[in-house]
A and B are shown apart, each in its own frame.
Chain A
Amino acid sequence: MLTLDHVGKTYPNGVRALENFTASVGPGEILAIVGGSGCGKSTLLRAVSGLDTPSQGRILLDGEVVKQPHAKIGIIFQEPRLLPWLTVAGNVGFGLEDRPKAERNARVADALARVGLSEKANVWPRELSGGQAQRVAIARALVPRPEVLLLDEPFSALDAFTRTDLQDHLLDLWADLKPTLILVTHDVDEAIVLADRIMVMQPMPGRLFDEIADDLPRPRDRQSAAFDFVKRRVLTALDRSLADGRPDGKPAASDADSGAAMWW
Chain B
Amino acid sequence: MSLAPMTVAIEPAAAEQKPRTGGLPRWAGPALGLLLPLTLAVGWELAVRAGWSDGRLVPPPSVIYATFAELAETGELQRHALATLARVLAGFGIGVVTGTVFGAVTGYSAILRQLLDPSLQALRAIPSIAWVPLFILWLGIFEASKVTLIAVGVFFPVYLGVMGAVMSVDRKIVEVGRVFRLSGIQMVRRILLPAVLPAYVIALRSGLGLGWMFVVAAEFMGASEGLGFLLVDGQQLGKPAQIVAAIVAFAVIGKTTDWIVVGLTAPFLRWEDRARMGGN
Contacts and interface: CB of A to CB of B under 8 A. Distances in A.
Contacts of B178: 51, 68-69
Interface in A45-97: 49, 51, 68-71, 74-75, 77, 79, 81, 83-86, 94-95, 97
A84 B175 contact: no
Contacts of B176: 81, 83, 94
B181 A84 contact: no
22 contacts: A51-B175, A51-B179, A69-B178, A69-B179, A77-B172, A81-B172, A81-B173, A81-B175, A83-B176, A83-B191, A83-B194, A84-B271, A84-B273, A85-B194, A86-B271, A94-B180, A97-B186, A124-B270, A125-B271, A126-B271, A126-B273, A144-B180
Given A49-B179, A69-B181, A126-B273, 11 more contacts: A68-B181, A71-B181, A75-B179, A77-B175, A81-B176, A83-B194, A84-B271, A84-B273, A85-B271, A86-B271, A94-B190
A108 to B, nearest CB: 14
A68 B175 CA distance: 12
A157 to B, nearest CB: 13
Interface residues of B, number: 19
A197 to B, nearest CB: 25
Contacts of B179: 49, 51, 69, 74-75
Interface string B134-173: 0000000000000000000000000000000000000011
A79 B195 CA distance: 17
A68 B270 CA distance: 34
Nearest to A91: B176
Interface string B178-197: 11110000100011001101
Interface in B36-84: none
Contact of B271 (A68, A74, A124): A124
Contacts of B272: 84
A90 to B, nearest CB: 10
Interface of A: 49, 51, 68-71, 74-75, 77, 79, 81, 83-86, 94-95, 97, 124-126, 144
B197 to A, nearest CB: 8
A81 B172 CA distance: 7
Nearest to A90: B271
Interface string B245-280: 000000000000000000000001011110000000
Most A C-beta atoms less than 10 A away, residue of B172, B176, B190: B176
A104 to B, nearest CB: 13
Instruction: Report whether over half of chain A's contact residues are helix, strand or loop; otherwise say mixed.
Output: loop
Q: Which 4 A-B pairs have the closest CB atoms?
A: A85-B194, A126-B273, A85-B271, A95-B180
Contacts of B172: 77, 79, 81
Nearest to A127: B273
Specify which of A51, A69, A124, A126 lies most central, judged by the most chain B CB atoms within 10 Å of its CB: A69
A70 B181 CA distance: 7
A20 to B, nearest CB: 26
A49 B173 CA distance: 15
Contacts of A75: 179
B89 to A, nearest CB: 28
A95 B268 CA distance: 21
B206 to A, nearest CB: 22
Nearest to A150: B179
A124 to B, nearest CB: 5
A97 B183 CA distance: 13
Nearest to A96: B180
A70 B195 CA distance: 24
A81 B175 CA distance: 9
A63 to B, nearest CB: 20
A84 to B, nearest CB: 5
Contacts of B186: 97
Contacts of A49: 179
A49 B191 CA distance: 19
Contacts of B181: 68-71
A263 B27 CA distance: 60
Contacts of A74: 179
Contacts of A94: 176, 180, 190
A83 B179 CA distance: 13
A209 B175 CA distance: 30
B138 to A, nearest CB: 43
Nearest to B194: A85
A104 B190 CA distance: 17
Contacts of A144: 180
A51 B190 CA distance: 18
Q: Which of A77, A83, A124, A126 has the most chain B CB within a 10 Å cutoff?
A: A83
Contacts of A71: 181
Nearest to A141: B179
B166 to A, nearest CB: 16
